């Protein structure tokens, strides 16, 4: 299927990326660390912040907002209503709830219905050094639902162990 007319006028020759990740006011994680480097490489990047926190959750305290699955879907419908839903790449990072992750899977399906060649790069941010950052039930959702549809996974060692069941 050809891309919508509006997307043909966009400046990128390398592709369009929808990046669904966290955002922090202080520090460089999630979309704050992904968008600019991708733009430097020539990609047109549209960020959706799964959370907006004062700082990353490794600090003693943090404050902020969490986007829910319906709010994510509303954004996707808004893009679709204006013929702006043609992407060559989807990048996902920190996702804190099962319902949001299931909505991300719906987004993957919708984007692939528009562009079957979509590359889905998933950083399954679940934890590090033996400690989970997310609810335990997300591990099985990643393993059973996300891994089969992702084009590429970028887990750290702990996350790779969770996904494969093998410990090094």
**How is residue 40 written in tokens?**
């430097």
Flag the least confident range among 7-16, 58-67, 117-126. 7-16
CA count, 13 A, side-chain hemisphere, 80: 12
Q: Can you count the helices (H) and strands (E) in the chain?
A: 7, 8
Task: Name the pTM for this structure.
Answer: 0.90
Q: What is the pLDDT of residue 168?
A: 76
DSSP 133: S
65: buried, middle or exposed (CB in 10 Å: 19+, 13-18, 0-12)? exposed
Find out whether 86 and 7 touch, Cβ atoms under 8 Å: yes
The domain limits of the chain are 16-164
Average of per-residue pLDDT across 82-90: 96
Q: What is the pLDDT of residue 2?
A: 53
**Spatial distance between the Cα atoms of 104 and 74, rounded to a whole number of angstroms:** 12
Nearest to 66 by CA among 16, 30, 12, 116: 30
Count of CB atoms within 10 A of residue 156's CB? 15
Q: What is the pLDDT of residue 14?
A: 85
**Spatial distance between the Cα atoms of 41 and 49, rounded to a whole number of angstroms:** 21
Fold of 16-164: 3.40.1190
């Amino acid at each position: 299927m050809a891309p919508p007319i509006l997307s043909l006028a966009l400046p990128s020759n390398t592709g369009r990326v929808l990046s669904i990740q966290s955002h922090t006011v202080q520090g460089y994680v999630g979309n704050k660390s992904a968008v600019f480097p991708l733009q430097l490489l020539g990609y047109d990047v549209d960020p959706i912040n799964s959370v907006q926190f004062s700082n990353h959750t490794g600090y003693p305290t943090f404050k902020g907002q969490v986007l829910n699955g319906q709010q994510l879907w509303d954004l996707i419908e808004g893009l679709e209503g204006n013929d702006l839903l043609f992407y060559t790449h989807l990048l996902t990072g920190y996702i804190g709830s099962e319902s949001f992750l299931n909505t991300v899977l719906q987004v993957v399906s919708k984007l692939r219905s528009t562009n079957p060649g979509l590359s889905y790069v998933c950083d399954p941010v679940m934890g590090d050094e033996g400690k989970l950052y997310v609810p335990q039930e997300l591990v099985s959702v990643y393993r059973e639902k996300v891994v089969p549809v992702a084009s590429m996974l970028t887990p750290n060692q702990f996350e790779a162990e969770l996904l494969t069941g093998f410990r090094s």
